Structures are given as C-alpha cells and as structure tokens.
Amino acid sequence: MAEVKKTALDGGVGARGGGGGWTRFVTARPRLTLLVALVLTALAVLAGGGVADRMGSGGWEDPAAESTYATEALERRFPGSQPNLLLLVNAGPEGVDAPAVAAEARKLAERLDAEPGVDGVGSYWSTGSPALRSEDGRQAVIAARIAGEEKDAAAVLDRIAPEYRGAHGPVEVSLGGGLAVRHEMQVIIQEDLLRAELIALPLTLVLLVMVFGSAVAALLPLGVGIVAILGTNAVLRGITEFTDVSVFAQNLTTALGLGLAIDYALFVVRRYREELAAGADTYTAVRTTLRTAGRTVLFSALTVAVSLAAMLVFPQYFLRSFAYAGIAVVLLAATAALTLLPAALVLLGDRVNALDLRRLLRRRRAGREGAGTGEGGDEGAGWARAASLVMRRAPVFAVLTTAGLVLLGLPFLGVKFGTADDRQLPVTASSRVVQDQLRDSFPGDPGGGITVVAEGEATPAQYASYRERIAALDGVARAEGPVTAAGGHAYFTVVPEGETVGAEAQRTVSELRAAPAPFDTSVTGQAAVLVDSKDALAERLPWAAGIVVLVTLLLVFLLTGSVLIPVQAVVLNALSLTAMFGAVVWVFQDGHLAGLLGFTATGDIETTLPVLMFCVAFGLSMDYGVFLLSRIKEEYDATGDHEHSVRFGLRHTGGLITAAAVILAVVMVAIGTSRVTNTKMLGLGVALAVLMDAMVVRSLLVPSVMKLTGRLTWWAPGPLRRFHDRFGISETDPYNHGSTPGVIEVSEELRETASSRSTG
C-alpha cells in the first residue's frame, strides 16, 4: 500500500476512540461547537439583513474601457445627454400636440426638473425632436437623468415614481429607461429567489429522505446548507462596503449553498454510516470519516473555489460578484460540513438512523438491511455491474459518448454575443412594456444610440466637417450635433442602422473610433459598451482558463499521484459542459422552447454568461470527479487492482453522485424558474451540465477511458512520484489500515474473483 500522507485533519489517537488534531477539536465539546455555530449564524442573519438592497443590477461594463471613460465625461459635462429615466406620455387619440396635452406634459417636465437628484430634463414638447414622438403621434417622451451611484439613483426613483406613474389629466404616464429596467429587474430577482427557496427546500428534504431513509439524517445537509447561505449573505454585506456586488450573485449563493452543502454532507454522513455498519463506535466512526471523507470534502471545496476564483481576473463586477459569493459559500459549506456535522454526529450516534421511513421496504429485503441505510452487501451492486459492462466495451462507450457530447455542443459554434436589456424581463413588467413601445413605435431609441465625446478646442467649421464625415459612414442612419460646452467639450449623437447593439452598430463603433478628427474623441453607448466588454473578456479569458486548468491539474495530481488522471479530468470535465453550451444557444439564443419556458429570445447571449456558467459548472464537475477519484484511488492503494478499483469506486459513489446531482439540479431548476432570462439560463443550464456530468461522464466516459489507459493511468515520473509521496493527499485512514468497510469488502470480492478465475 502506498505511503499515507497526513493533513490538517490527522492527529494522534485520543481518548474515547477519537482522534487528535481537527477531529478532537470538533468532537471534544460537540454541544459547545453547535452552540457557537448557532450564535454565529444568528449574528450572520443580523449582519446579512438587507444585503439585496445594497446590491446592483449592472456590472457588465469594463471600468477601464473607453466607453466607461466617455460615459463619465458626459455625466460631468452634459448630465442630460444620457437619460436613464424615460416618462412615456400617452395622449390617446387626442394626440401629443393637442394644447391640453402639451400643457400637462410641460408641467410634468417642470416638476421633474425640480426634483432633487434629477438632471437634464428634456422632452418632445421642449425640443421638438422627432425621435421623442411616436410615429402615430399618440405618445411622446420626457427624458431625464437621475445622477449618482446606482443605489442612490434607485432610491431617488423609488421616491418619485409613485408621483409620476399613472393618470395626469388628459395623459397616462408610464416609466421606462435603463434605470427603471435595472431597478425592476432587481426587485423581480429578489422575489424569484424567495420563491425558488420555497420550492427547493421542501423538494430537497423529500429527496434527502429518499436517499437516506432516515428523516434525522436528511435534516443534517439542510442545516449545513442554511448555515452556508446565511453566512455568505453576511460576507457579501461586508463586501458591499468596499465594492459593487451584483444582485444576481444571490442566486448562486442559494444554489451552491444548498447544493454543495448537500454534496458534502451526503459524502460525510454516508461514510459515517458505513463505519457504524462495520461495527465502529461513534467516536471511531467520526474519526475515520473525517480522516477519509473529510479530506475529500476539503479537497473538493478547494477545487470548486479555484474554478470560481478565476472570475476575479475579469474587470466586470458582475463576474467578480459571483467569485465573491461562490468562494464564500463553498468555504463556508465545507467548514460547516467538517465542523458542525461531526459535532452533530457525535451527539446523535446511532440515532442518525432514527425516523427511518424506509424500514417497511427494507424488511422485505431479507439479508440486505445494514445499519439503517440499506448498505449491505448488495448496495451499489448495480453500479458495479454497469461499470463492468462499460469496461468490457470500453472503446465503444468512449467513442459513442464523446461523439454524442460533441454533437450536443455543436450549436455553440453559432453563438452570437450581445448585452442584457429590458427583454430580460417578462413581457408584463412595466418598464419592459415601455421599452417595447419605444422600440416598436418610435423612429429612434431615446435612450440608446452611440455618443461620440469630443475634447479639445475646435471651430464650428471643424465640428460641422466631422459631423458630415461620421454621417457618411456605412451603417449610420444619421448624426446629430454637436452639443457644446465651455472648455472645448462637445458630443455628437449617432443613430446606427438596425438594432441598437446589433452587428452593424458594433462595426459602426469601430469605424467611429478609427475616424480622423481634429480633437480627441471617445465613443460610448450600448454598442460601444458591448464591444469593450467583449474585448476585455477576450483579453482575460486565457488567464482565467489557465488558472482553472493549471490549478486543477495540480490538485488532481496531489489527490491521485498520476500524470494522466489530471489531464483526463480536465478534458472530461470540459466535455461534460458541451450539452450546456449547446442548449444555451439552441434554446435561449435561437428561441426554441421560448414559449414553454416563458422568455423572449433576442438572437444573442449576454457576453459574460458563458464565462460564468463555465466556471460554475466546471467547478461542480470537479466536485463529483473528486468524490469518484478519491474512492478509486483509495481502493487502488489498498489492492493494486486497476479495473477492480474503478468498479469499486463507481459502486460506492455512483448512487451518491447521482443523488447529489439530482438534488443540486432540483435547486438549479428552482433558480431557473426565475422570470429574468439570464437567471433562468444560469439555473437551467447548470442543472443540465450537472446531470450530464453525473449520469453520462462519471458513469460511462470515466470508466471506459480509465479502462483504455489501464495501469498507465497511475504512472508518474520519479520526481513527481516523490513529490506526491511527500505532499499528496489520500483518503485512506492512516490509523485503520485494512480495517475499513471498503477494504474488508474489497478483500472478499477479490477472493471471490480469484476463486472464479482459478475454477475457470
């Protein structure tokens, strides 16, 4: 057997069968441990209260981009040039030019201009701009900008919205614009998250009872998950004091908090019950569980955290927010699983099997019952048979599975990237209704277009010459301006042909930036923000992918001591994501199932979403991969039999991984019931990736590939082997060699196999 390495979970054998180190720390005073955890959780509830109100609903922009600079320059010099609040005034058949309508509209505009925090109010009635009047003459727009940070602007909107929305004499007023859209999106996300939790928690409890049988054991993972979620909310509340955090990150907090806590608790409780079934007392079972499954949980948490941490290399706070939330919830879930769970198991002892709801079923299975879990000799036998079948036909399964996954991912080759807008919202959302009317009934987008900021002294003739030059560019419908200010500052408005952020508009941004001018220019607008966001992602993506791949290779090598297995893990994890990315394009970009799922297809995918989904899904795939590889490695260390170890690993983790994946998928699908398209895409996409990884990659591709690589799977050159012997991680219990249930069962299986072979 390979030399066993010690970790922070190791320690000398202590009194009452417990261990030293971490084991003794968490089990010596279990009641005190749980009391401290209860107090800390209560403090987290207080600290994390109202965290959603401090979050933003934007974060897709690169703070260092040209478009960001231009936007800030406009806000300083021309506060009304980029309206984020639009009042859609509906005059009905009377028309917007009727005297009574015009008088009421001017009165509304004057009131709005006098509101604290509102700048640059303009309207159709003050400017006569055709872009602010609908083509049928029944509607017109009052445009304004609410200044300040996103949270402050939202507070102003909350204050003034009830005073302007609704009937005013002969007109009806609705509110739209970018600020109204983002604010309504934030409100809807919070409502949807609460609904998702109300859906996910009872369903998760039912599934856990089905997995464990015992209602007591089923409650333990939920407790760990709730602690992780509440703790992460407190962490995010603290982070909002220093930087912006996206409200979307709360969805990841709930999903990963429940999902990973359940994964880790399933793994720990399952191993603990195996030890009890083998005759160990409570303290010995907890000690062995922490030194085996506990190390795997710690290792798995590190791999998931690294995948999520890769998003920190991107400048957009939308992505960085998911890194903050993800790292916090992963580490808190692992800490709770390795602290609170062992303490609870010490107090429960054999009562962890209490309230066994499957007792009647097990009584019908003569000779199969095992310590309340059904973990007798036939437990996992179906997975062992399936693994044997796959390995007997390894080339067929490897080729067909790989080809199928690649085929499912082909739609992603046609991906088109865009930016999030009001169409993320349901069609009944009030700000979405306004934006739809502006899109369909007005000749231009009052809140859109491209803006060119000019800085530097210039003559009126130079300004006019530049306007003519940019108006002549392909893809430009018209160019207006300049609007000038003291100090050599001016801006031009460019209306692109086609959609505001379409391919034509993006090409126009590049041409505007390349156009010669007698002054310094910078370009902003939705299309410019999209171009800059795509450039920032393309620049940082190799770094993020490199971090994920290199750290994954290192961590899996520390777990297995193999050079080949880490490479297999990266490649197979990537394959497990193909179905998710293919579905994202086929469903959400191309609009298949849009009616069934209740969203509006825009013909593109928000630029940052694939990056986010990759980091989350890759980390979760590694989570399941670590569970499987750790049991395979443990058995290979004990027996040296490669094929048997693969079969053993699937036998003891196949059902566990599948159950964990189904439960996590339920949580993600609950998140996917959101009315906001991006949240729906994240939830349903990751749910699909998790199920494909557990049911296809771990069940079919891993055993077939490991069969094909044979004993070469475990090869490593001498220097790396010595490095692993010194620093590697093992799930084998160093104080219980050859006496764990797994090793006993292995010996019996090997004897049976050897006997059958000799008889043959």
Q: Is 355 exposed, middle or buried (0-12, 13-18, 19+ CB in 10 A)?
A: middle
- Angle (CA) 333 337 340, round 5°: 115
Average the pLDDT over 460-470 and give the result: 92
Q: 454 pairs with which residues across the strands?
A: 490, 521
pLDDT confidence bin for 55, thresholds 50/70/90 = confident
pLDDT at position 399 over 90: yes
Average the pLDDT over 664-675 and give the result: 92
Please answer whether residues 535 and 70 qualify as being in contact, where contact means their C-beta atoms are separated by less than 8 angstroms. no
Average the pLDDT over 377-403 and give the result: 88
pLDDT, tens only, 608-661? 999 999 999 998 888 888 889 988 998 998 898 999 999 999 998 888 899 889
The pair of three-digit structure tokens given for residue 212, joined into one six-digit string: 């464990």
Sheet containing 139-146, strands listed edge to edge, beginning at the edge strand earlier in sequence: 118-123, 139-146, 85-90, 171-176, 166-168
How much is the pLDDT for 52? 79
Tell whether omega for the bond before 30 is within 30 degrees of 0, i.e. cis. no
Between these two residues, 129 and 4, which has the higher pLDDT value? 129
pLDDT at position 451 over 70: yes
- Give dist(CA 744, CA 377) in Å, integer: 11
How much is the pLDDT for 22? 65
How much is the pLDDT for 175? 95
Average the pLDDT over 301-309 and give the result: 89
- Give dist(CA 418, CA 611) in Å, integer: 14
How much is the pLDDT for 112? 93
* Other CB atoms within 10 Å distance of the CB of residue 702: 28
Whole-Å CA distances, 757 to 387, 645, 651, 744, 760 = 19, 18, 21, 20, 5
Instruction: Residue 552: name the closest of 539, 541, 540, 565 by CA.
Output: 565
- Give dist(CA 19, CA 29) in Å, integer: 13
pLDDT confidence bin for 444, thresholds 50/70/90 = low
pLDDT at position 503 over 80: yes
pLDDT at position 517 over 60: yes
Between these two residues, 463 and 737, which has the higher pLDDT value? 463
378 phi and psi angles, rounded to 5 deg: -95, 0
pLDDT, tens only, 60-86? 888 999 999 998 898 888 877 788 899
Contacts of 436 (CB under 8 A, 6+ apart): 422, 427
Report the range out of 5-9, 265-269, 414-418 with the highest average pLDDT. 414-418
Which region holds residue 593: left if phi is over 0, alpha if psi is between -120 and 50, else beta? left
- Angle (CA) 443 448 454, round 5°: 115
pLDDT, tens only, 184-231? 998 899 899 889 988 988 888 888 888 877 778 888 888 888 888 888
Average the pLDDT over 9-14 and give the result: 42
pLDDT confidence bin for 362, thresholds 50/70/90 = low
pLDDT confidence bin for 21, thresholds 50/70/90 = low
pLDDT at position 142 over 90: yes
DSSP state letters, 135-190: TTSSEEEEEEEE-S-HHHHHHHHHHHHHHHSEEETTEEEEEESHHHHHHHHHHHHH
Alpha carbon 453 to its chain centroid, in Å, reads 36
pLDDT confidence bin for 446, thresholds 50/70/90 = low
* Other CB atoms within 10 Å distance of the CB of residue 267: 28
- Angle (CA) 199 200 202, round 5°: 80
Mean pLDDT value across the chain: 84
How much is the pLDDT for 356? 64
Return the minimum-mean-pLDDT range out of 146-150, 284-288, 607-611: 146-150
Q: 496 pairs with which residues across the strands?
A: 476
Q: Which alpha helices (DSSP H) does 13-65 contain, by range?
A: 21-27, 30-48
Predicted model pTM: 0.84
- Give dist(CA 661, CA 705) in Å, integer: 22
pLDDT confidence bin for 466, thresholds 50/70/90 = very high
Return the minimum-mean-pLDDT range out of 173-182, 203-212, 669-678: 203-212
How much is the pLDDT for 753? 40
For 527-541, the three-class secondary structure string (H helix, E strand, C coil) is HHHHHHHHHHHHHHH
DSSP state letters, 305-356: HHHHHGGGGSS-HHHHHHHHHHHHHHHHHHHHHHHHHHHHHHHHGGGGG-SB
pLDDT at position 662 over 70: yes
Percent of the chain whose pLDDT exceeds 90: 43
Alpha carbon 399 to its chain centroid, in Å, reads 30
Instruction: Residue 253: name the closest of 330, 355, 310, 180 by CA.
Output: 330
pLDDT at position 754 over 80: no
What are the structural domains, with CATH classification, of the chain?
15-55+184-417+533-759 (1.20.1640.10), 85-176 (3.30.70), 436-531 (3.30.70.100)
Please answer whether residues 93 and 510 qualify as being in contact, where contact means their C-beta atoms are separated by less than 8 angstroms. no
pLDDT at position 360 over 70: no
Residues 124/127/128/129 CA torsion (nearest 10 deg): -80
Look up residue 416 and give its amino acid. Answer: K
- Give dist(CA 475, CA 634) in Å, integer: 63
pLDDT at position 748 over 50: no
Whole-Å CA distances, 577 to 407, 586, 610, 694 = 12, 14, 11, 12
| Entry field: residues in the chain | 760
564 phi and psi angles, rounded to 5 deg: -80, -40
pLDDT confidence bin for 367, thresholds 50/70/90 = very low
Compute the 3-state secondary structure of the chain and give helix, strand, coil in percent, each to the nearest 5: 65, 10, 25
Which position has the token pair 């400017």? 127
pLDDT, tens only, 187-196? 899 899 889 9
pLDDT at position 296 over 70: yes
The pair of three-digit structure tokens given for residue 570, joined into one six-digit string: 């990266």
- Give dist(CA 390, CA 689) in Å, integer: 22
Please answer whether residues 674 and 191 qualify as being in contact, where contact means their C-beta atoms are separated by less than 8 angstroms. no
